[in-house]
Amino acid sequence: MLDKNKPNILIVDDEEDFARGIKRLIEGAFPETEVRTAFSGPQALSILAAEDISLMVSDLQMPGMNGLELLKASLSTSAALSVVILTAHGTVETAVEALKTGAYDFVTKPIEPENLFRVINKGLERSSLLDENRRLREQLEQRKDRLLGQSPVMQRLKQSIAAVARTDYNVLIMGESGTGKELVAGMVRELSARADKPYVTVNCTAIPENLLESELFGHVKGAFSGADKDREGLFCRANGGTILLDEIGDIPMETQAKLLRVLQEGEIRPVGSDHSRTIDVRVLASTNQDLPRRVAEKSFREDLYHRLNVLPLNLPPLKDRTGDIPLLARYFLQKACIELGLPEKELDPAVVGHISARPWTGNVRELQNAMRKLAVFSTGETVTMLAVDMAEGRPVADTESDSGDFISFKDAKQQLVDSFSRSYICDILSRTGGNITQAAKISGLSRVAVQKMLARFSLNAENYKG
């Protein structure tokens, strides 16, 4: 059985010694992969049906089922499979036909190892992207957002969420604006024993201070001007289930004292009532504020903080999980396309590099809004830097010269390249605080190349420090 966590490659050739030789070549160049061999089309289809294969390298001329027939049969069952065809020089036209049928690429015999390795590397990247897009589409079709990300910090957060959900203790969710605190709270509730019980979310900042206590705990008729009947509070509506107090740091001190009583006694007292009511509610609270600092400043009750902070969950900002940005960007782009009724779009590699270098101070929410803009401004199947410039309000390449004549394609393209290059180097300097060495490392450019770009665009790295 192949390891599903590794890219898996299948070599298909009726010449068994040749197939095994190709297998040894690939295993030496790609030690992180697992390689299988098949010596006929039917044997290959049997392996494809039983195993998770990322890429298949198949000979074109084989007795019985040839490579073209195998290609058609394999793609009908595995759309994310990348197929590379091996062909002799005299059958290149047939190989081109294979490309039209759906093959990813072809390699001519005799095999040049470097050429084979290049094609395999690109094919594995393609299969990985197709598989990722498939998984994202499934999540979109379910209409349920999940906490996306494979970075170590996100893996640890997901483990913490699962652990916290199994208990019935209060949870304090902390993180910058836009990091997904409400999403995490929903996951805690969905994974808990209270998943099928009531779930009430309260935006504490959206309720006026003079009404917050009544909204949370209810009131009786005549409790204050306008209270013409008894009203059940949000804690009562959540009885037996879960309540999320979003932005808990903004509630006034007086309400904090009454909330503390609820957490200590498990009772609420409606405004204007002499009687308390026992309730059973799990409390989740979230905040983007530094509550320990607020406690030190005496603007948040220390006893309430400790009652809420039984199980803390700290959400990382996007700048601490930049490896997740491409995955998140593709997810939000596809989601925006569905919302707008548009065909799916792909991100150009230059765009992926650009968005990966941005600081995203607004975190995931800012990234999602950016992808919505790109879905609107991109007219083709691929989102290019032209759409990025339009979405970010930068001037795009002029197709006319000062005299009114159309400029050449080469000059128009150069304007776009310059616009992207300047934007990219500015973003990466912002991220690295003007550190040229670090900027070079992240961008994949040499330090000299970065310095040349700074000189070309009259930029000063010192302006990005501090």
The CATH number given to whatever domain includes residue 113 is 3.40.50.2300
Tell whether 285 is covered by a domain.
yes
Tell whether 1 is covered by a domain.
no
CATH number at 394 reads 1.10.8.60
**Are 48 and 125 within one domain?**
yes
Number of domains in the chain: 3
pLDDT for res 378:
86
Confidence grade of residue 1 (pLDDT, cut at 50, 70, 90): very low
pLDDT for res 446:
85
Average pLDDT score, the chain: 85
Confidence grade of residue 19 (pLDDT, cut at 50, 70, 90): very high
Tell whether 147 is covered by a domain.
no
Tell whether 169 is covered by a domain.
yes
**Are 181 and 305 within one domain?**
yes
If you average pLDDT over residues 124-144, what whole number do you get? 65
The parent domain of residue 398 ranges over 322-464
Tell whether 228 is covered by a domain.
yes
Bigger pLDDT: 162 vs 443: 162
Asked whether residue 140 carries a pLDDT value surpassing 60, the answer given is no
Tell whether 220 is covered by a domain.
yes
**Are 408 and 449 within one domain?**
yes
**Are 130 and 36 within one domain?**
yes
**Are 309 and 365 within one domain?**
no
Confidence grade of residue 144 (pLDDT, cut at 50, 70, 90): very low
**Are 291 and 337 within one domain?**
no
CATH number at 211 reads 3.40.50.300
Asked whether residue 411 carries a pLDDT value surpassing 70, the answer given is no
Report the range of poorest mean pLDDT among 9-13, 14-18, 130-134, 177-181: 130-134
Tell whether 2 is covered by a domain.
no
Asked whether residue 404 carries a pLDDT value surpassing 60, the answer given is no
Asked whether residue 5 carries a pLDDT value surpassing 90, the answer given is no
pLDDT for res 203:
92
Asked whether residue 90 carries a pLDDT value surpassing 70, the answer given is no
pLDDT tens readout for residues 217-275: 988 888 787 778 888 899 999 999 999 999 999 999 999 999 999 999 999 988 888 88
pLDDT for res 465:
64
Would the pTM count as exceeding 0.75? no
**Are 168 and 291 within one domain?**
yes
**Are 29 and 156 within one domain?**
no
**Are 449 and 362 within one domain?**
yes
Tell whether 3 is covered by a domain.
no
Confidence grade of residue 365 (pLDDT, cut at 50, 70, 90): very high
**Are 53 and 92 within one domain?**
yes
Confidence grade of residue 463 (pLDDT, cut at 50, 70, 90): low
Q: Final residue of a domain: which of 106, 141, 176?
A: 141
Asked whether residue 21 carries a pLDDT value surpassing 90, the answer given is yes
C-beta contacts of 431-434 below 8 A and 24+ residues apart? 431/319, 431/357, 431/358, 431/359, 432/464, 433/464, 433/465, 433/466, 434/461, 434/462, 434/463, 434/464, 434/465
Q: Final residue of a domain: which of 316, 333, 348?
A: 316
pLDDT for res 143:
42
Confidence grade of residue 188 (pLDDT, cut at 50, 70, 90): very high
pLDDT tens readout for residues 45-60: 999 988 889 999 999 8
**Are 330 and 201 within one domain?**
no
Percentage with pLDDT > 70 across the chain = 89
Q: Final residue of a domain: which of 316, 350, 365?
A: 316
**Are 104 and 217 within one domain?**
no
